[in-house]
Amino acid sequence: MSMSAEQEVLKQRLDEIEKRIQAACERSNRKREDVKIIAVTKYVGAETIGDLLAVGVEHIGENRLQDALPKYQQYGDRGHWHFIGHLQTNKAKEVVGRFAYIHSLDRISLAQELNKRGEALNQVVSCFLQINISGEETKFGLSPDDVLAFLQETSNMKHIKIVGLMTMAPVVDNPDEARFVFRGLAEWKDRINEWNFPHAEVTELSMGMSSDFEVAIEEGATYIRLGSILVKPE
């Protein structure tokens, strides 16, 4: 089967990104297979998702439910879908059952709603706890000071499990300036695992975007969320 021009372009961009991922893995002594790409498709339409899947992308990330639903309707049976944006509590029920992972769990009310919906569908909802490491007021995410209490309060919720942590790094000129945020999130993974909560066995770190994914990989990212470098906004 031959590739369309659009697919050729995506494949070329993926090849370039792949080299950079491999180099970052080598620098930090990590295995390439431990880093997965989430293609963030918020800038583009469903047809680009079809092209991404056709050239081998396995993870699709969307941050707004209304935009994501029609795309999901078309391609939801292919790939693994990640909800990466801020999630309103009243929208949670539409995300559960569709998206395999929710990266933006950041408050008790949302945990309660996800748990309730998971129970109704008889499934366990895989979540990433979003932590605001940088402390910027404009960013969503649980404050590090509240993480322990959050885990205690959610420990009886049988239909959610926290498989990973997610953070948004500050916008900086030099990606190295964001390193402390990635390192900080990785430290929270170790700390949480030491607490041994049965519902929070954290193996994944969702961190790093187009401008800083190499630094994130060096600090332990297992999912990098790539938008503009892969699907350029018009």
Min separation Cβ 168 and ligand PLP, Å: 6
The smaller minimum CB distance to ligand PLP, of residues 115 and 130, is found at 130
3-state secondary structure the chain: CCCCHHHHHHHHHHHHHHHHHHHHHHHCCCCHHHCEEEEECCCCCHHHHHHHHHCCCCEEEECCHHHHHHHHHHHCCCCEEEECCCCCHHHHHHHCCCCCEEEEECCHHHHHHHHHHHHHCCCCEEEEEEECCCCCCCCCCECHHHHHHHHHHHCCCCCEEEEEEECCCCCCCCHHHHHHHHHHHHHHHHHHHHHCCCCCCCCEEECCCCCCHHHHHHCCCCEEEECCCCCCCC
Min separation Cβ 55 and ligand PLP, Å: 18
The smaller minimum CB distance to ligand PLP, of residues 68 and 157, is found at 68
Min separation Cβ 73 and ligand PLP, Å: 21
Min separation Cβ 121 and ligand PLP, Å: 25
Min separation Cβ 83 and ligand PLP, Å: 10
The smaller minimum CB distance to ligand PLP, of residues 159 and 218, is found at 218
The smaller minimum CB distance to ligand PLP, of residues 71 and 225, is found at 225
The smaller minimum CB distance to ligand PLP, of residues 39 and 202, is found at 39
The smaller minimum CB distance to ligand PLP, of residues 131 and 226, is found at 226
Spatial distance between the Cα atoms of 221 and 58, rounded to a whole number of angstroms: 17
The smaller minimum CB distance to ligand PLP, of residues 59 and 225, is found at 225
Min separation Cβ 233 and ligand PLP, Å: 8
CB closest to ligand PLP, residue no: 227
Min separation Cβ 194 and ligand PLP, Å: 27
Residue 100 one-letter amino acid: A
Tell me the backbone φ, ψ of residue 156, rounded to 5 degrees. -95, 5
Backbone conformation region of residue 97, classed left if phi is above 0, alpha if psi is from -120 to 50, else beta: left
Binding site for ligand PLP (CB under 6 A): 40, 42, 63, 84-85, 209-211, 225-229
Spatial distance between the Cα atoms of 175 and 116, rounded to a whole number of angstroms: 39
